[in-house]
Amino acid sequence: MQEKKKFYITTAIAYTSRKPHIGNTYDVVLADCIARYKRMLGYDVFFQTGADEHGQKIEEYAKAEGITPKAYVDRVSGEIKSVWDAMHTSYDRFIRTTDADHVASVQAIFKKLYDQGDIYKSEYEGKYCVPCESFFTASQLVDGKCPDCGREVTDAKEEAYFLRLSKYQDRLLDYIESHPDFIQPESRRNEMINNFLKPGLNDLCVSRSSFQWGIPVEFDPGHVIYVWIDALCNYITGVGYHPDGSSDRYRHYWPADLHVIGKDIVRFHTIYWPIILMALGEPLPKQVLGHPWMLFAEDKMSKSKGNVIYADDLANRFGVDAVRYYLLSQMPFAQDGNITYESFLSVYNSDLANTLGNLVNRTVAMSGKYFDGKVSRADEADETDRSFRAAADETVRDYYRLMDAYRNADAMETVLNFAKRCNKYIDETTPWALAKAPDGHARLEGVLYHLLEGIRLLAALLTPAMPDCADAIRAQLQCDDRTLSFGVCAAYAVGEAKPLFARIDAAQVLSQLAEETKAQQALEAAAAEQAGVATLSQISIDDFAKVELRAALVTACEPVKRAKKLLKLTLDDGSGTPRTVVSGIAKWYTPEALVGHTVIVVANLKPAVLCGVESNGMILATDAAEDDVRVLFADGVPAGSKVR
């Protein structure tokens, strides 16, 4: 038996600063679609993703929370993995840069490069951007700020190890120019050549001595290995590379067939990473795909701007495959895509509910109504059938071509156009009229067979992008054949027609979202005011004495209708009258997790109506981390006790 062709695909590993937003999630959804497509073609696929867990920023976040860096990254890596799982991504390994095998291999890689003279010790003095974890010279700054993220930089001077990029510069330039497909899209390739390689490379700082949260340099414990060797090497350590002897898995899968990354880190993956591999004497990855960004209405997503959308939140409301479809169909190959709730709902209703969902529902329903679900193959009767069959064949050819080139949005458009062609075929053949015609029975069966076979083909084409939707279609057809060609099934015995995507009342949903956002903003503003944040003026002891804090027992708790972030708590505050408080903590607590606990409530706060519920007070909680809220419990304290 012929051995399967291998295909090793990776994503950039997500940085563990905070929960990834939907733009970050595109990376892994795109890679998953490609991995599923290759598996569908019979490839032996290994799909790796993971989390980048070291660095100064992580150390600072952990210190602010009063926990260890490892405890911090354990939590955030869990969040990242949870989002990836929520999007039904089929990775084979989720690597963490704190994994023992990765740590050992990275230390050995660093030692090997040092021993052969590709890494040397010196001193660095320049400008440092903590969020980007990057050094810059003064001339590289833009308006005195980081050229990558636009944030403030700080002066930095420290002893460090450097990688000799200049030694491999010409060799890398020759490789990129002789392998035109190595960097995609072409615009990214041109940028790397013209902006970095031809002007000349400076040697790269690959260790730090001003913080401790990183992989130690074994022969110089005052240094930790910097992100460029630590994080980038995950692509080989994750499949078993070690300088002293690599695993069979590494020898089987390396070189990687595709690195899927965002356009902002192309330089690291097409200059630093290839040079590391050249220094190690290892083959280079076959291709690096630097995809564009998913923006929020033409703007980068940022929690400070209030324009962040999370993929798992969207999936909980509208379904996983609806989110996957939007990401894969609305991101161009070389230009940035964008998402708003309005655009998402528009695409959902037009493409999924109207075009695809309606096609499947009415075809299965007609098959059940006219033939008790049993429809057999019929010959093509006329030019209408031949044209339909030709459209199916052309769709498959275009699909292969586009998916092989990783042009997923164009491939999705091709599939949707065939779904539209199926609906047009219904209009052309008018099956409801054939059902009434005295001699229309045979023709009607032929029409429905063509439609069912077209829908089976659609399910096969959609499998990499929308696996759950494809399975739901196959369940209604009661046919699991996934052959990517038309006319392969001899007969169908379909099941019950069930809607795939119910049409959404966009105006109602947008109104609900706006109300939820307004309520959340009111809660955050009230919390900031109550906490006396640094931006507010100082208060006197007399002002503070006006705030009445009481211990209150949570006797009941339930979600607030039409507000997924809000919980309605019923409290016993010792007054004899139940108190209702609305709190925006549904993301972090279930109602069951709160009932029976004693909380601290601001008892004399002016009432506010949130999503139709009057809230009389506020419970105290912390927000030490940007996306982590913890209620302050006072269990064991009698209800009604004053907090002094």
Among 458, 493, 528, identify where a domain stops: 493
> Residue range 365-373: average pLDDT?
96
- Same-domain status, 342 and 434: yes
- Same-domain status, 366 and 410: yes
- Same-domain status, 564 and 587: yes
Q: Are 257 and 24 in contact (CB under 8 A)?
A: no
- Same-domain status, 514 and 448: no
Tens digits of residue pLDDT in 426-443: 999 999 999 999 999 999
Greatest extent of the chain over all pairs of C-alpha atoms, in Å: 93
Q: To 10 degrees, the CA torsion angle through 15, 20, 26, 31? A: 50
CA 507 to chain centre: 27
Q: What global pTM score does this model have?
A: 0.80
Is residue 245 pLDDT above 90, yes or no?
yes
Residue at 3 is within a domain: no
DSSP type of residue 551: E
Lowest mean pLDDT among 371-375, 410-414, 494-498, 526-530: 526-530
- Same-domain status, 444 and 519: no
Tens digits of residue pLDDT in 580-601: 999 888 877 888 889 889 999 9
Residue at 56 is within a domain: no
Confidence class of residue 522 from pLDDT cuts 50, 70 and 90?
A: confident
Round to whole Å and give the CA distance between 19 and 75: 10
- Same-domain status, 518 and 488: no
Tens digits of residue pLDDT in 546-560: 788 999 999 999 888
- Same-domain status, 415 and 464: yes
Tens digits of residue pLDDT in 615-626: 888 898 876 544
Listed residue (65, 73, 131, 133) closest to 98, CA to CA: 73
Tens digits of residue pLDDT in 292-331: 998 887 677 766 566 789 999 999 999 999 999 999 999 9
Strands 154-163 and 204-205, how do they pair? Answer: antiparallel
Is residue 486 pLDDT above 50, yes or no?
yes
Query: How many Cα atoms occupy the beta-carbon half-sphere of 280 within 13 Å?
Result: 25
Beta bridge partners of 156: 126
Residue at 283 is within a domain: no
Residue at 164 is within a domain: no
Listed residue (102, 91, 98, 104) closest to 76, CA to CA: 98
Residue at 112 is within a domain: no
Among 493, 519, 538, identify where a domain stops: 493
Residue at 51 is within a domain: no
Lowest mean pLDDT among 295-304, 375-384, 487-496, 602-611: 295-304
Q: Are 163 and 113 in contact (CB under 8 A)?
A: yes
Beta bridge partners of 492: 375
What pLDDT, on the 0 to 100 scale, is given for residue 524? 62
CATH number, domain with residue 528: 2.40.50.140
Q: Are 594 and 630 in contact (CB under 8 A)?
A: no
Confidence class of residue 536 from pLDDT cuts 50, 70 and 90?
A: very low
- Same-domain status, 515 and 479: no
Look at the chain and report how many structural domains it folds into.
Answer: 2
Listed residue (124, 127, 132) closest to 143, CA to CA: 127
What pLDDT, on the 0 to 100 scale, is given for residue 535? 40
Residue at 155 is within a domain: no
DSSP tally for the chain: helices H, then strands E: 23, 27
**Boundaries of domain holding 610:** 506-631
- Same-domain status, 446 and 471: yes
- Same-domain status, 476 and 355: yes
Among 469, 493, 517, identify where a domain stops: 493
Residue at 58 is within a domain: no
Round to whole Å and give the CA distance between 634 and 595: 13
Listed residue (615, 639, 611) closest to 530, CA to CA: 615
Phi, psi of 11 (to 5 degrees): -110, 165
Q: Are 585 and 631 in contact (CB under 8 A)?
A: yes
- Same-domain status, 486 and 527: no
What pLDDT, on the 0 to 100 scale, is given for residue 22? 93
Question: Which positions ≥6 away from 515 have C-beta within 8 Å?
Answer: 562, 563, 611
Q: What number of residues does the chain have?
A: 644
Lowest mean pLDDT among 45-49, 69-73, 430-434, 568-572: 568-572
Is residue 200 pLDDT above 70, yes or no?
yes
What pLDDT, on the 0 to 100 scale, is given for residue 634? 87
What pLDDT, on the 0 to 100 scale, is given for residue 534? 42
- Same-domain status, 425 and 476: yes
CATH number, domain with residue 475: 1.10.730.10
Q: Are 278 and 285 in contact (CB under 8 A)?
A: no
